[in-house]
Amino acid sequence: MKTDILLEIDKDKFRSRLSGYTRQAYSRLPHMEAPAILDIGCGSGIPTIQLAIISKGKITAVDIDRQSLNILRDKIKVFRLSGHIKPVRHSLLTLHFKNTCFDIVWAEGSIAVIGFEKGIQEWRRFIKPGGFLVVHDEITNYREKMTCIPKFNYTLVHHFKISEHVWLNEYFNPLLQRIKELQVIYKNDPGAMKILDKEASETALFMKSPENLASLFYIMQKI
């Protein structure tokens, strides 16, 4: 039941509305022929699919969550991208790839798990000399985050913000609207309502502090 209701909410549909920003960040990189990309905390692969299509490279897509990876596997089949995306179930806290084997390390919405400073420090070794680290992270403490970029031997090539208005209009408001629709449909189903009420209150809680909803893309080059 839990899975069914979550599938009906379909957060991916709303997350997809922000895919243009993944493409915008990628467009800031120099042309690379079929780059090797490590997508850390890929989830169900909204950015991963975009990256595979635009880069035509080889993506190793890592996440700890089995269910998200299964959704990604389904998408890989639908988009016929099996030659381009390899899903790997592993914790981002204990990654064990060889040194300097990726042209690009990409992380959207996942660096907070390890912490910005620790993440950029630890993931640096996976990047080829002159390669790139692209991080999409919550806006909080962005000044401190920017100061640690040169400290760990990266150049900040470019950065851009996704405003709280974009997040509200494209993601949070439509998501809450969808949850409310389902609350009407499932009003006589206590199991479904429990999940829907939880999702609604979590979403509403996020929306209470709209200034924290904004996010930032950091495009960094390994020195």
Asked whether 5 and 186 are in contact (CB, 8 A), the reply is yes
User: CA 117 to CA 18: how far, in whole Å?
Assistant: 25
Asked whether 213 and 145 are in contact (CB, 8 A), the reply is no
Does residue 137 touch ligand SAM according to CB under 6 A?
no
Among 109, 139, 158, 159, binds ligand SAM (CB under 6 A): 109
Pairing of strands 36-40, 58-63: parallel
Nearest alpha carbon to residue 138 among 171, 170, 115? 115
Residue nearest to ligand SAM (CB): 43
Asked whether 136 and 215 are in contact (CB, 8 A), the reply is yes
Does residue 199 touch ligand SAM according to CB under 6 A?
no
Nearer to ligand SAM, 63 or 164 (CB): 63
Query: How many amino acids of this chain bind ligand SAM (CB under 6 A)?
Result: 17
Does residue 162 touch ligand SAM according to CB under 6 A?
no
Query: Of 88-96, 163-171, 174-182, 201-209, which segment contacts ligand SAM by CB under 6 A?
Result: 88-96
Does residue 15 touch ligand SAM according to CB under 6 A?
yes
CB 154, min distance to ligand SAM, A: 20
Per-position x/- string for 112-131, each x denoting binding to ligand SAM as judged by CB under 6 A, each - no binding: -x------------------
Nearest alpha carbon to residue 76 among 67, 87, 65, 91? 87
Among 52, 84, 108, 126, binds ligand SAM (CB under 6 A): 108
Per-position x/- string for 35-64, each x denoting binding to ligand SAM as judged by CB under 6 A, each - no binding: ------xxx--xx---------------xx
Asked whether 105 and 120 are in contact (CB, 8 A), the reply is no
Nearest alpha carbon to residue 179 among 205, 197, 206? 197
Nearer to ligand SAM, 63 or 199 (CB): 63
Nearest alpha carbon to residue 105 among 64, 61, 161? 61
Beta strands in 41-153 (DSSP E): 58-63, 85-89, 102-108, 127-138
Nearer to ligand SAM, 94 or 188 (CB): 94
Residues near ligand SAM, by CB under 6 A = 15, 41-43, 46-47, 63-65, 68, 91-93, 108-110, 113
